[in-house]
Amino acid sequence: MRYLPLNDADRSAMLDKIGAPDVDALFVDVPEEARLSGPIDGLPMHASEMAVEKHMRRLSKKNLAAADAAFFLGAGAYRHHVPASVDHIIQRGEFLTAYTPYQPEIAQGTLQMLFEFQSQVARLYGCAVANASMYDGSTACWEAVAMASRVARGKKRKVVLSGALHPHYAEVVRTMAKFTEDEIAGAPPSLTAKPDDDGLIARIDESTSCVVVQYPDIFGRLPDLEKIAEAAHDKGALLIAVNTEPVALGAIKSPGELGADIVVGEGQSIGVGLQFGGPYLGLFAVRDPKHVRMMPGRLCGETVDAEGKRGFVLTLSTREQHIRREKATSNICTNSGLCALAFSVHMTLLGEKGLRSLATENHRLACIAAERLGKVSGAKVLNESFFNEFTLLIEGDARKIVRDLTSQDVLAGVALGRLFPGNDALGKGLLVAVTETTTEEDIETLASALEEVLA
């Protein structure tokens, strides 16, 4: 039974205070056609717990589980093997909360974990400092854009987005920019073997605060970050590098090493399962220590106590609960603590050698897949370079082919037409991701299925 402590008089007083005539007025921003006017048709008003469980089990059997399919989905969320020890450790009582410690120095274990996490992310990204995590990769991307405006002190407002930036990340940036003075300069994606680095550089001018580039990009290609960084810095702009597959950094140079000023991304690949789309883990780091106070979120540091013993403190906490909202660098309320812990545990178990070995295996299997799929009649690999994900150009509508192959227990990849709706030029593109969970048998299954549907 729900406990609702407010009576009608309380509600009326609250509505009078905020100037709303009734509760419905609070939902005026929700389109009327999207609001429910009554119970949902076809659903019973109540059922026993056992009946609900039985019904939900029947529904779950309609799903095609990743473990039961030849799995090639990616596009920013990747299926990797997560050791059972990761789940065991994060479920310990002292860890099983994602909530913010409001007396942080008392929670020394939590602070130490976050300090270790920051150190791992900073090293992975080739940066000086990383924060204690963000919500996810897309919101971290926007926070980087907002930070670039702060660094420019509002004198530069043009944000140059690569056409090969994940469209969901680009959409988050555009949505948030509606409430700022930032001018978002995007570009349409192009299906070419190499990224259009020169076209991106040509769009950078003196009014540019930052350039946002994905590495590897949404098509799996590797842009020349060093060249782009040099061009951005010549115009006084910052380079923001976005990485959605951190395992790749076990094989390719880190963005910070190549000149990126702010590096952000999604940490889901390490320690965090797909989980039907979340919760995930935003990573955020800066290359130059002078930008630390411009960073969003929280930062844990190491110190010594009065007795000279090692301890940890919350060095920076620029959040609206602690200071005035208009003065905060970010209004994100809670970091993804539990996912950050899972990332840190998995990364610790891997170590540098393990991460490099994992990256090597991912790339090896991806090369096998690209070679085999490239031999399918009616299919062609777009990429000149890739890590564990590449674009396959096929004859026909990739979205239909993906749907058809699910009946054969094959999750063939992500159709570009789904990522970029309305862009007919991308309709033949299929984004194929291969990880260590993919077997050579899976690759052959996909290739044979494609040969059948393309025949």
Q: Which of 319, 347, 375 is the last residue of a domain?
A: 347
Q: Are residues 208 and 89 in the same domain?
A: yes
- Nearest alpha-carbon partner for 170 in 222, 234, 240: 240
Asked whether residue 128 is assigned to any structural domain, the reply reads: yes
Flag whether pLDDT at 324 surpasses 90.
Answer: no
Q: Which residues have CB under 8 Å from 248's CB, separation 6+?
A: 216, 359, 362, 387, 388
Q: What is the mean pLDDT of residues 262-289?
A: 96
**Host domain of residue 165:** 84-347
pLDDT at 333 over 70: no
Q: Could you give the strand order of the β-sheet that contains 429-433, starting from the edge strand earlier in sequence?
A: 379-381, 389-394, 429-433, 414-415
* CB 402 within 8 Å of CB 415: yes
Q: Is 328 exposed, middle or buried (0-12, 13-18, 19+ CB in 10 A)?
A: middle
Q: Considering the chain, what is the average pLDDT of its residues?
A: 92
Residue 144 lies in a domain: yes
Q: How far is CA 240 from CA 162, 210, 426, in A?
A: 11, 7, 26
Same-domain check for residues 169 and 262:
yes
Same domain, 447 and 310: no
> 359 and 243, same structural domain?
no
What's the pLDDT score for residue 47?
A: 86
CATH code at position 369 = 3.90.1150.10
CATH number at residue 305: 3.40.640.10
Asked whether residue 13 carries a pLDDT value surpassing 90, the answer given is yes
Task: Give me the pLDDT at residue 330, please.
Answer: 76
Q: Are residues 203 and 103 in the same domain?
A: yes
pLDDT, tens only, 356-411 = 999 999 999 999 999 999 999 999 999 999 999 999 999 989 999 999 999 999 99
Q: What is the pTM assigned to this prediction?
A: 0.89
As a whole number, mean pLDDT of residues 250-268 equals: 98
Could you tell me if 159 and 148 are in contact, meaning their C-beta atoms sit under 8 angstroms apart?
A: yes
Distance, in Å, from the CA atom of 418 to the CA atom of 203, rounded to the nearest integer, reads 27
Please tell me the distance from the alpha carbon of residue 337 to that of residue 100, in angstroms, as a whole number: 8
Q: Do 127 and 255 belong to one domain?
A: yes
Greater pLDDT, 418 or 322 = 418
Kindly compute the dihedral angle of the four CA atoms of residues 184, 320, 264, 168, in this order, to the nearest 10 degrees. -50
- State the helix-helix crossing angle for 137-151 and 167-177, rounded to 10 degrees: 50
Using CA atoms, how far apart are residues 116 and 300, in angstroms rounded to an integer? 9
Nearest Cα to Cα of residue 202 among 187, 184, 222: 187
In the listed set 301, 323, 347, which residue is the last one of a domain according to the structure? Answer: 347
227 and 343 assigned to the same domain: yes
Within a domain: 19: no
Confirm whether 326 is domain-assigned. Answer: yes
In terms of domains, do 77 and 106 share one?
A: no
Residue 285: pLDDT band (50, 70, 90) is very high
* Cα 372 from Cα 364, distance rounded (Å): 13
Q: Is 426 contained in some domain?
A: yes
Domain match, 408 and 271 both: no
Check pLDDT > 60 for residue 1.
no
H or E segment to which residue 171 belongs: helix 167-177
User: How many domains, in total, are found in the chain?
Assistant: 2
Is 16 within a domain?
no
Residue 48 belongs to some domain of the structure: no
Task: Dihedral sign for Cα 233, 234, 237, 239, please.
Answer: negative
Residues contacting 56, CB < 8 A, separation 6+: none
Examine the domain organization and report whether 302 and 364 are in the same domain. Answer: no
On whether residue 333 sits in a domain, the answer given is yes
- Across residues 292-317, what is the average pLDDT? 90
Q: CA–CA separation, 204 vs 118, rounded Å?
A: 31
- Tell whether 336 and 366 lie within a shared domain: no
Contact 304, 310 (CB under 8 A): yes
Listed residues 301, 327, 347: the one ending a domain: 347
Residues 196 and 285 in one domain: yes
Peptide bond preceding 101 in cis form (omega within 30 of 0): no
